[in-house]
Amino acid sequence: MSSLHIISEDTGASWQIWPAPDIIPAGEIREVRSYIFELRDSDRVQDIDLLIDGLPLEALRVRTPRTARWRWQTGFHAGEVAAELKTPGRTPIRFELTTDPDRKKLTRSDFDTMLSDILHDSFALFALTNFRKGIKQDISTKPPAIARLEYLRSRMDALECVIKEIERRPRRHLRSEERIIPYHQMRKATGNEVIRSFAGGRVARVPPNTRLPSTLRGFLPKDFRVQERFSSFDLPEHRQMAAVLASWASWLTASAEQLETVSKPRDPETSQSAALWANRCRRLAKRVHVMREAAPLKDLPHASPQLQLTSLFRSDPNYRKFYKLYQEFNLGLASVFGDFLNLPLARTFDLYELWCFLRLVHAGVREFGPAAVDFKNLFIGNSAGGLTIAASAVTVNVSSSWELMFQKRYEEFWKADDKRGSFSRTMTPDIVLAGPNSISPGPSKLIVLDAKYRIDTALNDAISSIHTYRDALVEDVGGSDFPGIVQAAYLLTPHIPDTSQSDYQETAMPGRLFHPDYRSTFRFGAATLKPGMPLAEICACLRAIIKDARSNAASP
């Protein structure tokens, strides 16, 4: 029997991917690696092609007549790829593979977590603005952004598992329904049913030899009204769930049509990406439609596609999971726009910068209170109910004395109106926290935070950027004196360090950057901001950064 396998050229590990696919552990297939596809025990191998995202792979020479091999260079790509095994005269065999980011960049789950946090933070912060309206689901004619589709796709497996569990152990309720049965088909009836049938219909005389109670005098109702009780799936929650799934399937189908329309006049690369995602949207819509046909949700009356938080969604674990997925899924459908939503999974490091900024803004509001919050530069609302999130050159006042800036440009100081800037070239730090000057009286000094989506030893090469920001950003105070305006500089990274050593001088890099004594002494180092951290831990990180930066220790 023919079978298709994928083999890692680095480790030699092999997994079957057709016809019975093996479970490939996360991180085993990742970007910037080389893999071999091997088709075994097949006829006409010289005529078979293997395509990844529509492009044929390089065929390799083999010594056995019933084996075909292809080399796949993943390149700098992380995310889902569509593969197709084509044999002339036969139906193509299609399957999908997911490539992870390189291990020094963590895994694909962080992309989903960061996008979810960004959307959650956006709604939470938007609620503090002067906009007094909700954000509706996106029904615009614009095609959905890649990141939103990646986000929705990542929830599909969990959604299918929940639907299967609900189908295995569904909730039911006992219903009573009145049925009308002709008298000659009746086998038994209660006294109340006989009386109700006499009162509501015509009467018939029966043959004298029929065994009837004498009190009926040979008469019976022509039609008996009988109450039958039966178990039913027709719950309000099931109606709502079915309507929600149908709505999601329609949205995905409409998105596929929009992507197909957009792909036609564009350049080849954009067209290929749009066509690829159009096919994926259709496949996702089919998966959702199959879930809609599950036994508890099938053939139910129409309902509004919106879940109400009832006792069933609170008490039953499976229904509670569905409600949570419903909330998460709606984040991806909401009418939220921004450049960050155009980032594919392979650009996770760009998304990490915006994630850090919005998490810190949300933490700042919690720490300092919402009284002085000003988000006028962060959100742009429109008459159609949409929300656009700015993703560059944004300043947010989180209190009367603290402000957070995202990708603020610092030109040469002699060009700047406030005479503050760089003495070498234009610089754009990821995040800047400006607050009261704790070192000397005068204008506020800055805490520069450089977000680096790296872990382990890859951080050693990242510290040069914060050295540059701390040394090159100055202020012209007159004469020949140009003091620095950076009070402290830190890396923000998902790396979790080992700081067990009591002395930072004995701690190896990059753990030394995270050591509390090292950070407070030099007002320089790194802090951990990992996707999935609760907001309370982000608040603690913000407090620690401010405390270290305002330390009374002498500057190096």
Distance from C-alpha of 335 to C-alpha of 469, rounded to nearest angstrom: 37
Q: Tell whether the torsion through CA atoms of 521, 522, 523 and 529 is positive or negative.
A: negative
Distance from C-alpha of 404 to C-alpha of 447, rounded to nearest angstrom: 10
How many domains does the chain divide into? 4
Q: Which domain holds residue 497?
A: 392-549
For residue 354, being part of any structural domain is answered with: no
Higher-confidence position of 506 and 439 = 506
Predicted confidence at residue 4, as pLDDT, reads: 92
For residue 107, being part of any structural domain is answered with: no
Q: What is the dihedral of CA 344, 349, 351, 357, to 10 degrees?
A: 180
282-333 pLDDT, tens digit per residue, is 889 999 999 999 999 988 888 888 899 899 999 999 999 999 888 878 766 6
- Do 144 and 74 belong together in one domain? no
Q: Tell whether the torsion through CA atoms of 287, 339, 346 and 72 is positive or negative.
A: positive
8 Å CB contact between 230 and 186: no
Distance from C-alpha of 426 to C-alpha of 414, rounded to nearest angstrom: 12
For residue 350, being part of any structural domain is answered with: no
Q: Which residues contact 163 (CB under 8 A, 6 or more apart)?
A: 291, 294, 322
Predicted confidence at residue 138, as pLDDT, reads: 46
3-class DSSP state for residue 351?
A: helix
- For the entire predicted model, the pTM comes to 0.55
State residue 369 phi and psi, 5-degree precision.
90, 155
DSSP letter for 538, please: H
212-264 pLDDT, tens digit per residue, is 677 677 677 877 877 777 788 889 999 999 999 998 888 888 888 878 776 66
For residue 23, being part of any structural domain is answered with: yes
Split at pLDDT 50, 70, 90, the class of 107 is low
Beta strands in 239-391, from DSSP E residues, in sequence order: 336-337, 379-381, 387-389
Predicted confidence at residue 335, as pLDDT, reads: 46
- Do 152 and 262 belong together in one domain? yes
Predicted confidence at residue 339, as pLDDT, reads: 42
Average pLDDT, the chain: 78
- Do 42 and 74 belong together in one domain? yes
For residue 131, being part of any structural domain is answered with: no
- Do 198 and 161 belong together in one domain? no
Q: What is the dihedral of CA 281, 282, 284, 285, to 10 degrees?
A: 120
The number of helix segments (H) and strand segments (E) in the chain equals 11, 24
- Do 502 and 522 belong together in one domain? yes
409-421 pLDDT, tens digit per residue, is 888 888 888 888 8
Predicted confidence at residue 78, as pLDDT, reads: 57
78-104 pLDDT, tens digit per residue, is 566 778 899 888 888 888 887 776 554
For residue 128, being part of any structural domain is answered with: no
Radius of gyration of the chain from its Cα atoms, rounded to whole angstroms: 32
Distance from C-alpha of 333 to C-alpha of 247, rounded to nearest angstrom: 11
Direct distance between the N- and C-terminal alpha carbons of the chain, in angstroms, rounded to an integer: 70
Distance from C-alpha of 424 to C-alpha of 434, rounded to nearest angstrom: 22
For residue 543, being part of any structural domain is answered with: yes
Pick from 333, 353, 368: which residue ends a domain? 333
- Do 149 and 180 belong together in one domain? no
Alpha helix segments (H runs only) across 37-136: 108-126
Q: Is 70 exceeded by the pLDDT of residue 131?
A: no
